[in-house]
Chains A and B, each alone.
Chain A
Amino acid sequence: MESSFVPQLVTSAILIVVMVHVILGGCAYAILAERKISAWIQDRVGPNRVGPKGLLQPIADGLKFFLKEDYTPRNVEKLLFTLAPAFAVIPALIAFAAIPWGGTLELSSLPFGLAEWLGVEDQTVQIVGANINVGVIYMLAVGAMGVYGIALGGWASNNKYTFLGGMRASAQMISYEIPMGVAILAVILLSGTLDLTTIVTTQRESGWFILQLPVAAVLYYICRLAECNRAPFDLAEAEQELVGGYHTEYSSMRFALFFLGEYAHMITGAALFAVLFLGGWSLNPLPFGPDLPTEGGLLLILLQVAVVLAKAGLIVCFDMVVRWSVPRFRFDQLMRLSWEGLIPISLVVLLATSIMVFMGWHQYTWVASLATIAIVYAISPILGRESNPNPRIPMIGSRFSPMSDHERPVAASEQLAFAESVGDDR
């Protein structure tokens, strides 16, 4: 029973065609979900006019994007301005190829005697787009390419807002790439492979890695948000300061391609998080107890694909809740969080995990994670904060006034205005 060339290629091709559509449809509906979730968080209704409960809204949006004018302003770099949206969406769409969606299928279990008819009854195929044995490196390499579209689009627009957005996106991407890489390294130390399918099967035996490596999981999650330019890290498109950020000059489908890229990146990143830390298609987070059977037919495979997709969907929804709950960072805070916070912590995680692997205590790595938190808390006072990153400027009359409220001088006109505003005309 070994994997063979032709059935695997056919499976991969089918899976890729299906998954491209699933991800593109997922992107469209993730945008609807984002609008709905933001509406619920802000106690609004959200889009509800197009179709039942607004479910056809993404289609209306897509059609409208196509029918809007695709305008190229005069001062832009024409070629790069046109190609930048493509550069943004292509890496996001090809990154998912290495994600294992459902394990190994034995072709002998296909219904209607299909395997006998095709003569492949003793073979197995992997339910994965491209069965790369260095899947982790592929995902990292392709995922990081998404910033080219943003940086090029920002530069080609020849606009100060877009330029700043592009610069910010690049600086942010390279800063959060490092802790992300090191956090994934901890997973590889525990599982001993770069093959994503094997990482999932390892987690079935050792328990989910989010329990073994909670600190690495949190690091990876934060870096994922930053790599997708999601709030609270959406400095590249900070509306209040940069209008639209890198896509200020874009319109119609070119504008939409940037968003498709962002959402496809989110979905792929969420699927990778599910595979690396949430046990892929495993349902039991603990190393013991019941789980899905390891062998089964096509139905089991479909169930496993559904489990991975459900986990990814939940993570995407959580991203949206985070977006509408946490305020945006300032740029110096963003840089300091990565370089003076996440990178040292990730190095400590790497050190602790490699020591645990050295001692052969793979199943007690969570102790190393607790030790990491203890070390970080012990060291952080020693490093010292020489200046307050959020200085309060004392100013008479402001809420940072050096005087307390009751001795604050109040102008007579201010009192009058207050009395008028509350309707006090006695």
Chain B
Amino acid sequence: MTASTPISLALALDVYLPVGIVVAMAILFAVFNLIATKLLGPSRSGQTKGITYESGMNPVGTARKRFNVRFYILAMTFLVFDVEIIFLYPWAVGYSQLTPRSPEATLFLGRIMFFLAASVVAYLYAWRKGVFRWE
């Protein structure tokens, strides 16, 4: 493995200053649109106009209620996998630069397979528990 090269300030600026430009342009665009439409459009309000639109019915209660717990369990399962994938990206770069069939590559492959298997067990458990079923 090669030693990591130190990142100079100029390189970081070269690379990330444009990202700053894009972010600034996007924010400007969004804020401009929000303000311009507020200023240009007409503005009338009314008692009935202000109520929540529920297909013409009078709204019953608020929407800020408890929601289905399956969304929450799903999000937990997602977190497990997403963190795992973040670990897999640097692994993939390092692994694909190794000599094929060398002992080092075997070690890399074996370790990541163990790592994957650990979360696949959790995934299968969640599957059997019916986390992914929405009937």
Q: Which residues of A are interface residues toward B (Cβ below 8 A)? A: 5, 8-9, 12-13, 16-17, 20, 24, 65-71, 73-75, 82, 85-86, 89-90, 93-94, 96-97, 129-133, 136-138, 155, 157-163, 167, 170-171, 174-175, 177-178, 181-182, 185, 188-194, 243, 248-249, 252-254, 256-257, 331-332, 335-336, 339-340, 343, 347, 350-351, 354-355, 357-360, 387, 389
Contacts and interface: CB of A to CB of B under 8 A. Distances in A.
Contact of A175 (B37, B44, B78, B100): B78
A20 B52 CA distance: 36
Contact of A170 (B30, B50, B71): B71
B71 A243 contact: no
Interface in B64-106: 64, 67, 71, 74-75, 77-78, 81-82, 85, 88-89, 92-93, 95-97, 100-101, 105-106
Nearest to A87: B30
> Per DSSP, are chain B's interface residues mostly helix, strand or loop, or mixed?
helix
A105 to B, nearest CB: 15
Contacts of B121: none
B16 interface: yes
13 contacts: A8-B14, A16-B21, A90-B30, A97-B18, A130-B16, A130-B18, A130-B19, A188-B89, A189-B95, A190-B96, A339-B127, A357-B100, A358-B100
A69 B41 contact: yes
A339 B19 CA distance: 34
A291 to B, nearest CB: 23
Contact of A354 (B19, B82, B109): B109
B84 to A, nearest CB: 9
A359 B93 contact: no
Interface of B: 10-11, 13-19, 21-23, 25-27, 29-31, 33-34, 36-38, 40-45, 49-55, 59, 62-64, 67, 71, 74-75, 77-78, 81-82, 85, 88-89, 92-93, 95-97, 100-101, 105-106, 109, 112-113, 116, 120, 123, 127, 131-135
Contacts of B45: 71
B101 A358 contact: yes
Given A159-B59, A185-B85, 11 more contacts: A90-B30, A131-B18, A163-B63, A243-B55, A252-B37, A253-B34, A332-B135, A343-B81, A347-B116, A351-B113, A358-B100
A89 B29 contact: yes
A389 B133 CA distance: 10
Nearest to B120: A347
A24 B33 CA distance: 13
B14 A16 contact: no
Given A16-B22, A167-B67, A159 B30 contact: no
A97 B63 contact: no
A84 to B, nearest CB: 10
A137 B89 contact: yes
B100 A86 contact: no
A94 B23 contact: yes
B14 A389 contact: no
A248 B53 contact: yes
A336 B53 contact: no
B133 A332 contact: yes
A9 B92 contact: no
B22 A254 contact: no
A75 B89 contact: no
B34 to A, nearest CB: 6
B41 A162 contact: no
Given A13-B18, A249-B53, A82 B25 contact: no
Contact of B40 (A67, A182, A332): A67
A359 B95 CA distance: 12
Contacts of B131: 339
B44 A194 contact: no
B52 A254 contact: no
A223 B47 CA distance: 43
Contact of A69 (B42, B74, B132): B42
B13 to A, nearest CB: 7
Contacts of B59: 75, 159-160
A182 B105 contact: no
Contacts of A161: 53-54
